[in-house]
Amino acid sequence: MSSTHHLAPSPGSPRFRAFTPRDLDGLLQRVSLTADQRLALRAVSAVLPFRTNTYVLDELIDWTAAPDDPIFRLTFPQEGMLPPPELRRMKDLLAREAPKAEVLRAAHEIRMKLNPHPSGQLDANVPVHEGQRLTGLQHKYPETVLVFPRQGQTCHAYCTYCFRWPQFVGEAELRIATDDIGTTSAYLRAHSEVTSALITGGDPLVMSTEVLRRYVEPLLEIDTIRSIRIGTKSLAFWPYRFTRDRDADDLLRLFEKVVASGRHLALMAHFTHPRELRPPVVREAMRRVRDTGAVIRCQGPLVAGINDSAEAWAELWEETTTLGAVPYYQFVERDTGPQGYFGVPLARGHEIFRDAYSRVSGLARTVRGPVMSAMPGKVCVDGVAEIAGEKVFVLHLIQARDPSLVDRPFFAAYDEGATWFTDLKPAFGASEFLPGLEPG
């Protein structure tokens, strides 16, 4: 990246300020809500994480449309995120100013009912090296390992739908994290089948470049690692990370170093709504990332009340393509946390995907979806068909624990209300979808 592209931090640069549950009541004064409604949102934030920042508040949310504004719903708690009995329980505790220990105990009990770690994250996905469980890594697919840096297990702002919410609620036993870089490297050296490392969180880009470098540079010494991915929401929620933060230029130089090593560097950018792409600073941030040789791949889930329309997705995919990024995945809301509130039935989700897909150019049709990151792998809903007189979902695995299952079509009995893989049953009276691929 030419030095002429570097921007020195200026005295007028925005400074990051986070807002947490202690600030929620004050922030909600900007919205027309009753006292009981504000209490309900506080009750939700006592169980599920809440964090936002000045950029989201000032640049992304349309306060004249709140509480129905999609970015408000994306970042602020909603009553329906907790089942009614659990919401009443937390409201009662807060209303009578119950002791903190009692509130924390109730919050923990509710969290444990919300399937905090779906798809085998704490058992089937945790690798073992020389008899030691590496609880800060995930190795679900042969060629890819996820690394969770301990210092990166937060975000610039939290999405209400986030399936990694257990990382943020302050319970150590629920968190996936490591700072053991040596053992991570040793594991990767011992597993030559791993060609791609995904640094994830939380958001690794909340870390300083100096800290991020400690995790990235050792990967460059492992010949079998051919690609490095960084999962981040920072382009949407704090684009100044790439433009005017104190070490923004250092971050881009680190990206350049990865690319110069001959690796593919992918910034796995989470965009949920087209409004996140509109501020000029986002476009500048994306340009600066691309100038390093890194590729921006964009993904996000289909979420009820936020982006559940073909119009939103078509605009999102076309705009990211125009900005030089690659539409990658449209995910299905995972079976954890507030899925009951944000989830969209698979049948409806595919209709939205197909309608949006039909509106964009071929350049944007790199996107795949709707995709469920389920226990056996990434299950893609290809469509609905009638075969031998039976209405069925047509599906395939984009990724799988068992590579022999990848890209083999299979069929599930049509279920208009199904929202997740475990809701599906094999079609035609079969006992399994494919040999080795059982329901549930």
CA distance 31 to 41: 12
Q: Does 11 fall in a domain? A: no
Q: Cα–Cα–Cα angle for 149, 276, 56, nearest 5°? A: 70
**pLDDT confidence of residue 319:** 98
Residue 6 has pLDDT above 70, yes or no: no
Q: What is the pLDDT of residue 78?
A: 97
Is the confidence at residue 439, as pLDDT, over 90? no
Q: Calculate the average pLDDT of the chain.
A: 95
Q: Let me know if residue 356 belongs to a domain.
A: no
* Residue 120, pLDDT score: 80
Q: Are 81 and 160 in contact (CB under 8 A)?
A: yes
| pLDDT above 60 for 12 | no
The Cα–Cα gap between 125 and 373 comes to 13
210-245 burial string, b = 16+ CB within 10 Å, else e? Answer: ebbbebbebbeebeebebbbbbbbbbbbbbbbbbbb
Residue 87 included in any domain? yes
Confirm whether 31 is domain-assigned.
Answer: yes
The pTM (predicted TM-score) of the whole model is 0.94
Q: Could you tell me which residues are beta bridge partners of residue 146?
A: 138, 198
pLDDT tens digits, one per residue of 77-132: 999 999 999 999 999 999 999 999 999 999 999 999 999 988 788 888 999 999 99
Q: In this structure, is residue 54 part of a structural domain?
A: yes
Confidence band for 13, pLDDT divided at 50, 70 and 90 = low
CA distance linking residue 139 with residue 267, whole number of Å = 20
Structural domain of 39: 16-112
Task: Write down the pLDDT at residue 3.
Answer: 36
**How far from chain centre, in Å, is Cα 238?**
15
Question: What is the structure's pLDDT at 440?
Answer: 74
- Structural domain includes residue 201: no
Domain total for the chain?
1
Instruction: Give the number of other CB atoms < 10 A from CB of residue 319.
Output: 19
Q: Is 384 exposed, middle or buried (0-12, 13-18, 19+ CB in 10 A)?
A: middle
pLDDT digits (tens, 9 = 90+) for 176-222: 999 999 999 999 999 999 999 999 999 999 999 999 999 999 999 99
Average pLDDT over residues 370-388: 97
Inter-CA distances, 135 with 148, 195, 331, 401, 421, Å: 9, 20, 25, 18, 26
Over 70: is that where the pLDDT of 1 sits?
A: no
Question: For residue 295, what is the enclosing H or E element?
Answer: strand 295-302
Residues 237, 55 contacting (CB under 8 angstroms): yes
Q: With pLDDT > 70 as the criterion, what percentage of the chain qualifies?
A: 97
50 is a domain residue: yes
Over range 368-387, report the average pLDDT. Answer: 97
pLDDT tens sequence across 135-165: 999 999 999 999 999 999 999 999 999 999 9
Across the range 6-10, mean pLDDT stands at 41
Over range 360-366, report the average pLDDT: 98
- State mean pLDDT over 252-258: 98
In a domain, 79, yes or no: yes
